[in-house]
Chains A and B, each alone.
Chain A
Amino acid sequence: MKARNFRYVRPASLQEAYRMLAEAGGEAVPIAGGQSLLAGLNMRLSSPKVLVDIGNLAELTGQSYADGMVRLGALTRHRDLLSSAIVRAHLPLLAEAAPHIGHIAIRNRGTIGGSLAYADPAAELPACAVALGATLVLGSAKGERQVKAEDFFKGLFETDLRAGELIVEVKFPEVPTGTSTGFAELSRRHGDFALVGVAALAILRAGDIESARIVYFGCVDRARVAVSVSAALSGVAVPLEDASPYAAAIRNDVKPDDTPGLRADTKLHMATVLTRRVLNSMVE
């Protein structure tokens, strides 16, 4: 199908973008890479009246590392996560997750800001942002504010973004020495959205998990820390033979729904299997 009509505007600066978004009063949507937005427009699932193209705003680009903090501009593309030395050195979790995001042509266009703002619960980056304890810098005509990733995702495709607001950059605290990261997902075909995925941070001492921070995706309604699982894993010896003792905790955190072709109980089973696999992969 073809998209419904809309107006396209191309601000020359971030301030102009803010102004355009404010003027449209909730009827405008920013477009960066457009890899999720355009699919929805082409299916006539949404019909914004104005698209504000922020895809060329220099203020939203760039990546840096200083004082234990990695800052990624909202327009950082998925492919940049694969090629960036900063990401590789300080955020290996993102480098590990990036190859799973769609296919090469999608990674060439899609942006981190776009992915977080779209808040697809099956997407990799929202889960990674929460796991890594990222902070999102949000901007609008009224100024900037900062929101922690774990507070940003409010529900299925719902975020804390207010009308007229944009993601400007994402700040990731460097993963401290001694903290391991792990990532795994089950998708039917390479590049598909995950049925079930896990992004994990853990401090391992002498074969035990001292503390863990687990985030599921694919089987949840939004990216958030799996509090019960993370707590239950504290003090547990790895490698795990079997994660089923934690199934109740996983169920408590994940609360999956049936979706076409995949029941909630299957998702729970898969989440349990992946939890074990991710933790064990971190031992190596």
Chain B
Amino acid sequence: MASPAASTTGIGARIPRRELKRLLAGHGRYIDDIRLSRMLHAYFVRSPHPHAKLVSIDVQRASRAPGVAGVLTAVEINPRCEPFVGVALHRAGHRSAPQRLFAAERAVWQGQPAAIVLADSRAEAEDAAELVEIEWQPLPVVADQFQAIAPGAPVIHHGMPDNLAFDFTLEQGEPAKAFAEADVVIEEELRFERQMAMTLEPRGLIADFNPSDGSLTVIHAHQSPFQMQEIFANYLGIPEHKVRVVAPDIGGGFGLKLNVHCDEIATVVASVIFGRPVKFCVDRLESFVSDAQARDHRIKCRIGCKRTGEITAMEIDDIGAVGAYGMPMRFNVAEGMMAVVMTGAPYLFNSYKARTRSVYVNKNLIGMYRGVGMPLACIVGELLTDLAAHELGIDTVEFKRRNYRPKSTLPCVTPGGQRLETVSFHECLERLVGLMDYDKLRREQRELRERGIHRGIGIGTFCEQTAYGPPYYGPSGAAISTQDGCTLRLEPSGSVRCLTSLTDQGQGTLTAVAQIVAETLGIPVDDVSVAGNDSAISTYGGGAWASRGTAVGGEAALRASTILKENILSLASAITQTPADELSLANGQVINSKTGLSVISLAEVGRIGYFRQDTLPKDFDVQLSVNASFVANDKPYYMANGVQASYVEVDTDTGFIRLLGQWAVDDCGRVVNPLLVDEQVRGGTVQGIGAVLFEECIYSEDANLLNGTMADYLVPMAYEMPDIVVSHVETPETSTRLGAKGIGEAGLIGAMGAVWVAVNDALRPLGARITHQPFTPERVLDALARAKLR
């Protein structure tokens, strides 16, 4: 039974994130706040060309510049690290050229490192970098996916037959027949430009190799210290137990800080070579040319429906430009794979045809970024069904009511191969419709249209794979652990220390873990301290990424605290001569379950357990430090779901789009802390709105980045964003005791679908359709102009 104290701070309580007081006082310790003695600062000289031969490189002048300790090139750096081949073993035919840390003979993307300058200060390193003399000879460029697969296209990697990285097809049911039998077929071509994760704090690390004992400590703004421990050990040849990766406070991750970036590895190599700590903090201009990017997809898709409103078939053909190499460990085919396996997942239909291709281009690597392909799936499904519903004369909400997979069909496997068990499409939709007052908005929309004001309503339904398990990552061959662990220790004072394998980039995972421990042990959350972010001290585990922290690490904490509870009760039973099954924990006391009265305090249990074992029965086994790891062996993911709505207005004279309202309903199973979840959903929603309306890496036709500053790459700021109403339906995950699923990406996925549909809904009476993201004013105006020509 939860004690009164625990119920106000335990599972389900809206308590503030515990790190915030410190962070808001300016007392955070982010990577660039840390300095070690004898530390050098790194700055990279990068290829200014998307594709060029490196004719010569001369570092003599740079090496003699003030404050410079050395300048290293491919000659010194590359042999120190095994090449990365970023292919997933279970994806048949997936191939990539081996990636070296530095460009040696050729650079294949703009921003690829060619030299690292190490100096006493960052400014001096930048000064010296200007003195590195490199002769580049530009080569023909493969700038986009269609160029890449065109006959006779230059092949980026010697030794590969073409630029194709991966080609996957899927067919379920009888799509050809089903399309032929459809009364209505809607077909569209969608385009998603490249974008960036754009964490406010750019990437960074301090590598500290100690030559005297061969140990390596890396303070790394990374979401998965264990992943990086494995990489530093195996690729640099350092015994794994001598590698420690510690994450400091991190200024946002969103998947960016999950990738394997060659400049980060090179920083570690430089520390090994110099035997000194080396700091590399990416600045914003560098982030534009060095951060793994996201999206860059072209999708053809169609849907077939019967007059009656039933969906007969869907089809998607995706082609993604994944950059110059396969992303090590994290596999940039994932975006396309997720798009094709998730499309249409919320809907009842049987015939499905899908293809995704990933191709290499002379651009930076595509990596993990919030949502990975799932927003594309959401957009394809929601746009097609909305267009089909309208074509059939059925209101879009009514269409969803009819076509969503009802609870009665669960568990089921979708045509894309997705197993749905505890999803709640209809409940979420009805909640949403009520929150936004759908009918009233539709009336308002109709009235305003008569006055030339063009508003649109869009609904974005989604499934979200969260908390990947070993069936998902294991067969890929990547050493990515999907388990998490928790170590708990009762202190003699009766308080509890927790060590978790999780990390926290702001989500509040460590607070959620504290709540779970506090509730289970019947103590106030303030009596639990949580440490994480460190590969050396906790149980092995994954970290915080892919919407998994609380779902997996929280379950490990629940299991560890259950064991500790049993041990405490058993010890209390021995001390007090009361049967253990009559005892429970509440308010920091061991209580008699029947009377509710305190039998002994936790502090007294701790005192005796640690200092007066002599008073216990001979051979009584005191275990007040316990450990538990958790993973659901057979589950590839916990499927979460939700639905969002957007209300937008399009200025048809200028092409500007204004968000008037946004509503989000999600089902992430059990919500451990609604306060943290709500704003995380809103944050994801704003990133999703940003993606649809603003964010784009603009490249020239020959693959030069044209907008590499924050003045030109637009992220959503406060003024343009709407208030966002958030609500939760809770359908617990059944394979865990905690019942939590992930929530990290939900906001972004649903928002992107909702805004896409809403803008197109606004343009509908004008006969215009916009399918090229982001929806810039120019693209809106172009869509309107095309409609006029028709």
Contact = CB atoms under 8 A, between A and B. Distances in A.
Nearest to A273: B653
A121 to B, nearest CB: 15
A109 interface: no
B172 interface: no
B695 to A, nearest CB: 11
A192 B711 CA distance: 8
Contact of B712 (A3, A4, A191, A260): A260
A189 B127 CA distance: 34
Nearest to A260: B706
Contact of A266 (B122, B696, B717, B781): B781
A2 B778 contact: no
B656 interface: yes
- What interface size band does chain B fall in? 20 to 34
A186 B711 contact: no
A43 B709 contact: yes
Contacts of B714: 188-189, 192
A44 B712 CA distance: 17
A33 to B, nearest CB: 17
A266 B712 contact: no
Contacts of B716: 189
A260 B707 contact: yes
B717 A189 contact: yes
Interface in B121-169: 122-123, 126-127, 130
Contacts of B603: none
A283 B644 CA distance: 42
B281 to A, nearest CB: 12
A176 interface: no
A204 B58 CA distance: 68
Contacts of B698: 260-261
B719 interface: yes
Nearest to B705: A260
B656 A2 contact: no
Interface string A254-281: 0000001111001001100100000000
Interface string B49-68: 00000000000000000000
B430 interface: no
A186 B283 contact: no
A172 interface: no
Contacts of A191: 717, 719
B776 interface: yes
Contact of A269 (B694, B696, B781): B781
B654 A2 contact: no
Given A193-B711, A273-B653, A43 B781 contact: no
Nearest to A259: B706
Nearest to A195: B777
B650 to A, nearest CB: 14
B126 A1 contact: yes
B720 A261 contact: no
A190 interface: yes
Given A186-B656, A189-B714, A261 B776 contact: yes
Given A1-B126, A43-B285, A43-B709, A186 B654 contact: yes
Contact of A190 (B122, B130, B717, B777): B717
Interface in A1-27: 1-5
Interface in B753-790: 776-778, 781
Given A1-B283, A1-B285, A189-B717, A266 B778 contact: yes
A90 to B, nearest CB: 29
Contacts of A189: 694, 714, 716-717, 719-720
Contact of A261 (B130, B656, B696, B781): B696
Nearest to A270: B654
Nearest to A190: B719
B719 A262 contact: no
Contacts of A1: 126, 283, 285
Contacts of B778: 261-263, 266
B127 A4 contact: yes
Contact of A186 (B123, B285, B720, B777): B777
A43 B122 CA distance: 14
Contacts of B127: 4-5
B712 A2 contact: no
A2 B285 CA distance: 11
Nearest to B696: A261
A5 B126 CA distance: 11
Contacts of A5: 127
Contact of A2 (B126, B653, B711, B719): B126
A186 B654 CA distance: 8
A72 to B, nearest CB: 27
Contacts of A260: 698, 706-707, 712
A3 B653 CA distance: 42
A35 to B, nearest CB: 12
Contacts of A273: 653-654
17 contacts: A1-B283, A2-B126, A43-B285, A44-B130, A188-B694, A188-B714, A188-B776, A191-B717, A195-B777, A261-B698, A261-B776, A262-B776, A262-B778, A269-B781, A270-B654, A273-B653, A273-B654
Given A39-B711, A189-B694, A190-B720, 20 more contacts: A1-B283, A2-B123, A2-B126, A3-B123, A4-B127, A43-B709, A44-B130, A188-B714, A188-B776, A189-B716, A189-B719, A190-B717, A191-B719, A260-B712, A261-B696, A266-B655, A266-B777, A266-B778, A269-B781, A273-B654
Interface of B: 122-123, 126-127, 130, 283, 285, 653-656, 694, 696, 698, 706-707, 709, 711-712, 714, 716-717, 719-720, 776-778, 781
Interface of A: 1-5, 39, 43-44, 186, 188-193, 195, 260-263, 266, 269-270, 273
The 3 closest A-B pairs by CB, nearest first: A2-B123, A260-B706, A190-B719
